[in-house]
Structure 1
Amino acid sequence: MKSVAMAYYNGAKYIDEQIRSILANMEDTDELIISVDDASDGSETILQNWAQNDPRIRIIKGPGKGVVKNFENAFRHCRGDIIFLSDQDDVWKKNKMIKIQQAFEDPKVMAVVHDAQIVDEKLSSLNETTFEWRDSKAGFWKNMKKNSYIGCCMAVRRSALKRILPIPDNIWIHDQWIGLLAEQLGKVVFIEEPLIYYRRHGGNVTELTHGSITSMIKKRYHMIMEINRRVKEWSEHDKQNQRHIEKP
């Protein structure tokens, strides 16, 4: 079973096209979890119609605390062994889930990232891919400096999420957090094939631009500190379990 986790916020304009492209990838046993922070743009009816007509879709109430906590909420409701992250305004290519599932056949793989064609709101190419834009590749310090982990291009193994969640409150971006911790848990595979159309328009929740230098330094500091803290927690937890096993 595979799950798709979507964090939703007033996405009426593109949600039909996105859901249709996701369902075209899914098998009967898969699920699409849509965590809804707000659907006051008239999209509540759209979402409910989809859920009523396809049992693979589940609509859940979001926490209303921003995109990171909304994704975390979606993750907690997923039941699949592999969890795909999804934005509300892109379009998936038909071979996306199959290509990614093949990469997870290696049990050491904890997360997968694929390339994406950057397009405008009408799906016209902007002549660049996300891998080109971000110089995408694995590596902790590489991705701390310039993040390759774009959520809508990612999937993560459920067993990894058990250690990645909860996401600390001072972490501003969920996908970089997931990718960097997945590197600590095992392998991350980068697929150099655009498997979605990554739509950029005036209403994107995330933008292609950066904040101030001070803001960027602060965010990276928090990321490093929280990752170190989480890895230390794993180590202590594993040591305690080992002592428990060895105790006569």
Structure 2
Amino acid sequence: MTDSRPQQKISVCMATRNGESYVGEQVASILPLLQPDDEIIISDDSSTDRTVQIIKNLNDRRILLLENNTFFSPIFNFENALKYANGDIIVLSDQDDIWLENKIKLIRERFRQCPATIHLIVMDGLAIDATGKIIEPSLFRRIAAGPGVLKNVYDNTYMGCCMAFSRSLLQIALPFPKRIPMHDMWLGLLAELFGTVEFLEEKTIMYRKHATSMTEFQRRFLPLTQIRRRLYLGWSLGTRFLARRASQWTLTDG
């Protein structure tokens, strides 16, 4: 039987900063996968190279470029992009990876099948070096990815570049607390608390590991500053949880 429901709009949210080496290739890998009504929201944080001009040269009406920001933070640069997203499904993207052809199709299928109001999926990928050579056949295996609140508070495996989630998650997640360790950790943990989460083994990106990439593969003991950030993260999660429950009780009583 044919699914008669309208296709959900996708918003790809990307944060850029001095990404001229790879951003053109990354966006070019995304655009052919999108439908005419989908969008890419790109928030640029103080780039001093050709990043902004490269994006403008792509000249695609589906791209919304947010310029002249001075966050100096990937967390709040991503938050800025999320604030402008209009899609039913939000997909996060780094500035320097390459998307595989199956990514958007898989995302649409999983969200079409999931009845949950808040749903988040994490998809596997393979890692490449600066030249495009494969250096890791599975990101999931390399970082022992999987769900679990305590597991991911201690050692986050919610890689933003592998994530997509329901728009409704933003109602809880925004605004971001000021001192969370990373945006992807915050979003993933909130999805576990308030919705459903899937880790899918399908590989949908080539994650580029190079000198300036953010994600570290080695697992290590947490320094004191990170312990403090995780304590703050736990407090922030608890605060949002209680606020959400309070609003639900108010609606029920009303």
Shorter-chain TM-score range? over 0.9
Are positions 1:16 and 2:24 aligned together? yes
Which residue, 96, 121, 130 being the options, matches 1:112? 121
- Render the CA deviation track for 1:46-102: whole Å, top value 9, x for unaligned: 12112xx21111101335241111100000100000000000000000110111221
Q: Which residue of 1 aligns with 2:71?
A: 64
Aligned mate of 2:106, from 92, 99, 109: 99
Answering whether residue 223 of structure 2 is matched by residue 213 of structure 1, we say: yes
Tell me if 1:81 matches 2:91. no
Q: CA deviation at 1:8?
A: 0.8
SS at match of 1:24: helix
Question: Number of residue pairs matched?
Answer: 242
CA offsets per residue over residues 186-215 of structure 1, 9 Å max, x none? 111111011100001112244335575323
| Structure 1: gaps (5+ residues) | none
Match of 2:3? none
Does residue 242 (structure 1) correspond to residue 242 (structure 2)? The answer is no
User: Which runs of no fewer than 5 residues in structure 2 stay unpaired?
Assistant: 1-8
- Counterpart residue type for residue 93 of structure 1: L
Distance 1:63 1:104, change over 3 A: farther
The alignment-based identity, stated in percent, is 37
1:134, 1:146 within 8 Å by CA — same for their partners in 2?
A: no
* Residue identity matched to 1:225: W
Separation of aligned partners in 2, 1:203 and 1:170: 22
CA contact (8 A) 2:180 2:230 kept: no
1:32 has 2:40 as partner = yes
Q: Distance in 2 between matches of 1:195 and 1:44?
A: 26
**CA–CA separation in structure 2 for the residues paired with 1:63 and 1:182:** 29
Runs of 4+ in 1 over 4 A off after TM superposition: 209-212
Pairwise mapping of residues 83-162 of structure 1 onto structure 2 (< 5 A)? 83-105=90-112, 106-108=114-116, 110-162=119-171
- TM (norm. structure 1) is 0.92
Q: How many Å apart are 1:148 and its aligned residue?
A: 1.5
